[in-house]
Amino acid sequence: MRRTTKSIAALLIVASSCVAISGSAFAFNDIKNDPGAAHILDLKKRGIIQGVGNDLFKPGAKVNGATAVTLIVKGLKLNIDDIRFFKKPEASDFFTKVKNDAPYAGEFIIAQLNGLDIPRDIDPSKNVTREQFAHWLFKGILAKGDFAFTEQFIQYTDADAATPAYSDSIQKLLVSGIADLDKKGAFRPQDVITRSEAAVLVDKAIEFVEKTPPIVEVPENPESTILTDVKLASAAFADGVSKVTVSATAPHPGYGIEISSISFSGGQATINYRVVMPDPAALYPQVIADVHADAYIPSSYKAVLGKVEPSLPAKSEGDAASGSSSGAAAGGSTGFPINE
């Protein structure tokens, strides 16, 4: 796998020439009157672009597929570092017209594995439209995190010219302020994107990702993450009766566990449980505690661990359910619903 990583890294170094062909420590001489000058210079400062020689950027030049993909991948710092491969990935695994030895092959591999929705038959030398670039850029943003976008619809005069599959991406870039309409209220989706326009979109996308916190996914039942190492054990208790025990590790002795319901079906007894929340008015030692809850089922059923169910409101110490743990945590109760 180390060889694969080095091979991809080598491709990326060479691929950067698609955007940064030659360097200069000075400002570009041909962007003074370009509306995207500030964004172009910011990308240069970030080391994402350099120019095309003789201190020129050529802001009005058209962008082809190789340059577009390279710019988005480099700008958003997309990577495949967390993916482990059984074999070295090659561009030909995903694309029919991207050669494995092309200087931008590594960028296309990263784009594919980050869900940029690049067509399999893309021609890297063919110019890219504004709507294509917008769609790939938006997919790249999503690869950086789950961001919230306001529910609004921005009308533009040439919306009918947009490819339906790209419309949502265009809308999201407009809503977030990454993309803008021209003075006539048009987006010009079918126009070939220029180097200046692409640079502006990428720079704004970078700023959006840097300044916008992604949505943190909250579990449907937050209490499900409190207890760890939850286990189920079963042992003979009496003739025809088995004792089942659900045990877990709690953050401190204030937490407990109780069996919330048992469902009998197909010869199995599914044991569901819930967390007993600590008394908010009490003080507990901050030490890990082992908690458990017991129940009794017919021995003809096989006990299986079910799901964690929503917790009940916290009780005061005087009202806490009886049970046991290694500390003072509340334990289980046998007053659970039984479903059959």
Q: What does the pLDDT look like over 97-140, one tens digit per residue?
A: 999 999 999 999 999 999 999 999 999 999 999 999 999 999 99
What is the predicted pLDDT for the residue at 284?
Answer: 86
CA distance 194 to 62: 5
- Are the C-beta atoms of 271 and 292 separated by less than 8 Å? no
Boundary of a domain, candidates 146, 176, 211: 211
For residue 294, being part of any structural domain is answered with: yes
Total domains present in the chain: 2
For residue 32, being part of any structural domain is answered with: yes
Tell me the HSE value of 268 on the side-chain side, using a 13 A CA sphere.
7
DSSP code of residue 157: T
For residue 93, being part of any structural domain is answered with: yes
Q: What does the pLDDT look like over 280-312, one tens digit per residue?
A: 888 888 889 999 999 999 999 999 999 888 876
Give the three-state DSSP class for 276. Answer: strand
CA distance 243 to 72: 60
What is the predicted pLDDT for the residue at 86?
Answer: 85
Residues 169, 299, single domain; the answer is no
Residue 332 has which token pair? 């289980």
- Are the C-beta atoms of 62 and 129 separated by less than 8 Å? no
Residues 248, 296, single domain; the answer is yes
For residue 29, being part of any structural domain is answered with: yes
Length of the chain: 340
What is the predicted pLDDT for the residue at 216?
Answer: 66
For residue 203, being part of any structural domain is answered with: yes
pTM of the entire predicted model: 0.61
Residues 108, 71, single domain; the answer is yes
- Are the C-beta atoms of 259 and 270 separated by less than 8 Å? no
Boundary of a domain, candidates 211, 231, 258: 211
For residue 217, being part of any structural domain is answered with: no
Tell me the HSE value of 291 on the side-chain side, using a 13 A CA sphere.
34
- Provide the greatest CA pair distance for the chain: 92
Boundary of a domain, candidates 170, 185, 211: 211
Residues 7, 104, single domain; the answer is yes
Domain, as residue range, for 121: 2-211
For residue 292, being part of any structural domain is answered with: yes
Residue 24 has which token pair? 């200069």
Give the three-state DSSP class for 211. Answer: helix
Tell me the HSE value of 66 on the side-chain side, using a 13 A CA sphere.
23
CB atoms within 10 A of CB 35: 12
Residues 127, 176, single domain; the answer is yes
For residue 216, being part of any structural domain is answered with: no
What is the predicted pLDDT for the residue at 257?
Answer: 93
What is the predicted pLDDT for the residue at 68?
Answer: 98
- Are the C-beta atoms of 199 and 176 separated by less than 8 Å? no
Residues 242, 302, single domain; the answer is yes
Residue ranges in the chain modelled with pLDDT below 70: 1-26, 216-224, 312-340
> What φ, ψ does residue 298 adopt, rounded to 5°?
-60, 135
Residues 177, 239, single domain; the answer is no
Residues 86, 162, single domain; the answer is yes
Residues 27, 137, single domain; the answer is yes
Residues 173, 227, single domain; the answer is no
Residues 146, 109, single domain; the answer is yes
Residues 6, 131, single domain; the answer is yes
